[in-house]
């Protein structure tokens, strides 16, 4: 099928056509022609007056399968991602069994091979994500794993982190270290702040995150290697990572879209969809995250998409599981806090960090792109949720712009 994009505005700094309006002809999954005007034929599918960029990448997604299919299957999860504008997904090992071997990595790759989007498994850093012994990292790398981390579980053993950073250096592996001191967190469920006190909920101090960020960076400085710190949520974390980058340490970080958008003031009604880890912080910390978006300290934004069935969420706040879905909302929320060009950069830069080839919008390149418009707004409702699980913190929130679809792997997926 031939696809003609008429009068498409290209947002791609790697392309000579960046910020220009062009017609683009795609045939056989390859960009055949980019021109001011391309004549239309009857065999073409035409899309007009849209924005396009390289396909977006989400660095932290959970789908459940294998083992937790009641939360989300790979098939529906991948289709949800495609309709949300993502063509590359880093899939966390929050599965049963945990993806801690090459066979687990290959299972996810094979099960999603037919999809327009590409799955990039994150292998567990430790066996069964128990934090005791390193998993078979090199074997998983050969199978297609792009990084190694235990989802939402901190590496409490500093020596294990040191060994992991050293072991992965010969093959360029990236270690993911979730920053949370569980001893300081204790039984906390929300940010330690006036809201927690007012609502009678146990607090999680910002210190629980910041101590681990400081420790991780100290170990990285000693051992070398590549470190990714996911979903930071405090101003001090931003400052520590800014300082580490100034020293030349090979570290990246992300922020979850919900931590960027909400403050802990939304907890008023004890809605468990707002129970996330790290917790929603106070206004000062959230403002610091927003300001850091344009600095380059925050490398990319993630949905931190975590589908959870009703039995895990529909219970007392203290006992509900941490997590919200967010694939459907990442773009519509992010564009409210930064420019469209910076938004696209934050949604695509994980590619380079995790070794996923870029696909600049030029002639002869495979078509791997997201179609969208930054114009217009809408209110997100429960009927807009594409995921199998409905635990969304964004119900009732205003979305800016709209995802139209994706073109990838010689497939066109439209909303």
Token pair of 407 as six digits: 């073109």
The neighbouring-strand residues paired with 8 are 22
Reading the block at residue 325, the tokens are 């879905």
Q: Residue 76: how many CB atoms within 10 A of its CB? A: 17
Q: Using CB atoms within 10 Å of the CB of residue 237, give its burial: 0 to 12 exposed, 13 to 18 middle, 19+ buried.
A: buried
Q: Which helix (H) or strand (E) segment is 296 a member of? A: none
Is residue 255 within 8 A of residue 235, CB to CB? The reply is: no
Active site residue 150: no
- Helices (DSSP H) in 180-305: which residue ranges? 182-185, 194-199, 206-223, 235-247, 257-261, 283-292
Query: Under a CB-based contact definition with an 8 Å cutoff, are residues 267 and 274 in contact?
Result: yes
Q: Which of 191-209 are b and which e, b meaning 16 or more Cβ less than 10 Å from the residue's Cβ?
A: bbbebbeeeebebbbbebb
Residues written for the chain: 415
- Rounded to whole angstroms, the Cα distance separating 165 from 319 reads 35
Of 23, 150, 304, 368, which one is the catalytic site residue? 304
In the three-class reduction of DSSP (H, G, I as helix; E, B as strand; rest coil), residue 373 is classed as: strand
Residue pointed to by tokens 């006036």: 194
Q: Which residue has the tokens 């960009």?
A: 31
Q: What is the dihedral of CA 290, 296, 299, 302, to 10 degrees?
A: 20
User: Which sequence positions are flagged as catalytic?
Assistant: 304
């Amino acid at each position: 099928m031939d696809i003609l994009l008429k009068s498409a505005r290209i947002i791609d700094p790697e392309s000579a056509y960046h910020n220009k309006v062009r017609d683009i002809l795609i045939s056989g999954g390859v960009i055949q022609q980019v021109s001011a005007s391309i004549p239309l034929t009857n065999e073409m599918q035409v899309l007009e007056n849209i924005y396009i960029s390289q396909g977006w990448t989400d660095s932290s997604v959970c789908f459940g399968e294998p083992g937790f299919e009641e939360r989300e299957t790979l098939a529906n999860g991948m289709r949800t991602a495609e309709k949300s504008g993502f063509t590359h997904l880093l899939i966390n090992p929050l599965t049963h069994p945990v993806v801690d071997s090459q066979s687990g990595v290959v299972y996810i790759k094979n099960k999603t091979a037919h999809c327009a989007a590409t799955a990039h498994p994150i292998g567990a850093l430790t066996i069964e994500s128990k934090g005791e012994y390193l998993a078979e990292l090199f074997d998983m790398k050969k199978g297609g794993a792009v990084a190694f981390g235990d989802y939402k579980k901190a590496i409490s053993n500093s020596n294990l982190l040191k060994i992991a950073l050293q072991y992965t250096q010969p093959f360029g592996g990236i270690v993911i270290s979730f920053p949370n001191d569980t001893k300081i967190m204790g039984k906390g469920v929300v940010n330690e702040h006036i809201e927690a006190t007012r609502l009678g909920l146990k607090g999680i101090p910002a210190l629980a995150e910041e101590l681990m960020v400081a420790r991780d960076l100290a170990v990285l400085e000693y051992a070398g290697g590549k470190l990714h710190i996911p979903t930071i949520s405090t101003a001090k974390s931003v400052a520590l990572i800014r300082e580490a980058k100034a020293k030349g340490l090979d570290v990246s970080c992300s922020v979850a879209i919900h931590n960027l958008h909400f403050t802990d003031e939304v907890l008023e009604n004890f809605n468990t969809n707002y129970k996330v880890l790290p917790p929603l912080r106070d206004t000062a910390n959230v403002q610091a995250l927003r300001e850091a978006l344009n600095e380059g300290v925050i490398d990319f934004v993630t949905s931190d998409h975590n589908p959870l069935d009703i039995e895990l969420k529909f219970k007392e706040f203290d006992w509900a599981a941490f997590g919200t879905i967010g694939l459907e909302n990442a773009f519509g929320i992010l564009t409210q806090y930064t420019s469209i060009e910076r938004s696209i950069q934050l949604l695509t830069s994980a590619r380079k960090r995790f070794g996923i080839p870029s696909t600049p919008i030029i002639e002869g390149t495979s078509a791997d792109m997201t179609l969208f418009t930054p114009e217009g707004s809408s209110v997100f409702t429960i009927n807009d949720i594409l995921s199998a699980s409905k635990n969304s913190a964004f119900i009732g929130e205003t979305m800016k712009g709209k995802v139209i679809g994706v073109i990838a792997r010689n497939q066109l997926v439209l909303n």
